[in-house]
Amino acid sequence: MRALTKKIVITGGKGRFAKTLKKNNKNLNLFFPDKKELNILSIKSIEKYLKKIKPKYVLHAAGLSRPMNIHDKNISKSIDLNIIGTANVVKICEKYKIKLIYFSTNYIYPGKKGNYKEHDPILPINSYAWSKLGGECSVRLYKNSLILRLCMCEKPFVHNFAFSDINANFMFHEDVIKIIPKILNKKGVLNIGGKIQTVYNFAKKSNPKVKRKSGKKIFPPNPSMNISKLKKII
């Protein structure tokens, strides 16, 4: 693939996805600011960094994710990082006409029937998903944007247990990275994930020691997404 010279800033430059992206990137002109360089809670910090770098794109991956229960225990932090922080990024991207790509989650779908398409009704399944939907709301106001509803994780599967009764379509960070160059100029909403299967069946391929566990008391049975739109692109 031919290298893309347009500058791309990754918020959350020290996060799990960003570290994998930095390690595996071969074709993109990427910048990975840390919190001192680009603090999403500070409009001035965001503006100062983006004015200096002058990127064509911002991949907004910064935010609060794990542990999931922190979004119940510390809602102020969840709101600050996932909702207010995202709104701040949107404001500066809009001001300087920078394309914004926002990392959301498949957990904003109800999770009852699975195979959700981008235009299907949404109903977040937990507080984390509500916080990501809050971020989506501000991103949708900015037309030069793309929302990625992602189902992804680290490779190998990092947990000791995996749900054998929950269907999803997880994809490893490394596989998402291969897709990024192909979607930079898309707009709207895009589901990104892999094959629909139980979390356990996905996990055991990279972590043979993973053990089965029921997830019925934690998640609805099927938060999987329809990825036909993605397949047409790639």
Ordered mean pLDDT values, 10 residues apiece, the chain (234 residues): 80 93 92 96 98 98 91 96 98 98 97 97 97 98 98 95 97 97 97 98 97 94 98 95
Direct distance between the N- and C-terminal alpha carbons of the chain, in angstroms, rounded to an integer: 13
Which residue is associated with the tokens 């020290």? 14
Angle between helical axes of 85-95 and 127-140 (0-180°, round to 10): 20
Kindly report the number of other CB atoms within 10 A of residue 176's CB atom. 22
**Residues 86, 138 contacting (CB under 8 angstroms):** yes
**Residue-level pLDDT at 3:** 54
Q: What is the pLDDT of residue 105?
A: 97
Query: Residues near 150 by Cβ (< 8 Å), separated by ≥ 6?
Result: 103, 104, 105, 106, 171, 176, 192, 193
**Which residues, other chains included, contact 138 with Cβ-Cβ below 8 Å and sequence gap of 6+?**
83, 86, 87, 90
How many CB atoms are located within 10 Å of the residue 129 CB?
23
Residue 1: the pLDDT is 45
Q: Which residues of 106-123 are buried (b: 16+ CB within 10 A; e: fewer)?
A: bbbbbbeebbbebeeebe
Return the structure tokens found at 147: 């929302």
Domains by residue range for the chain, with CATH:
4-158+168-196+225-233 (3.40.50.720)
Return the closest-CA partner of residue 224 out of 187, 198, 204, 201: 198
